[in-house]
Amino acid sequence: MELVAIALPVAIFVGAIALAAFVWAASSDQFEDLDTPPRRAIVDEDPVPRGDAPDK
């Protein structure tokens, strides 16, 4: 029973911090663009010009 008296307030405190972090992230537009970052990882930003490509 003593464990519940310690664990319950700690769990509520951690949950409140997680909720506050989520509300902050949502209100500051952290979730605005979810499509571009994954695409940016696979797209070459500097394409090689055709004349400079090595011959095979």
pTM of the full structure: 0.58
Q: What is the mean pLDDT of the chain?
A: 84
Judged by DSSP in three states, 56 sits in coil
- Section 14-35 average pLDDT: 92
Give Cα separations from 14 to 3, 18, 21, 41, 55 (angstroms).
Answer: 16, 6, 11, 34, 60
CA 8 to CA 24: how far, in whole Å? 24
Percent of the chain with pLDDT over 70: 77
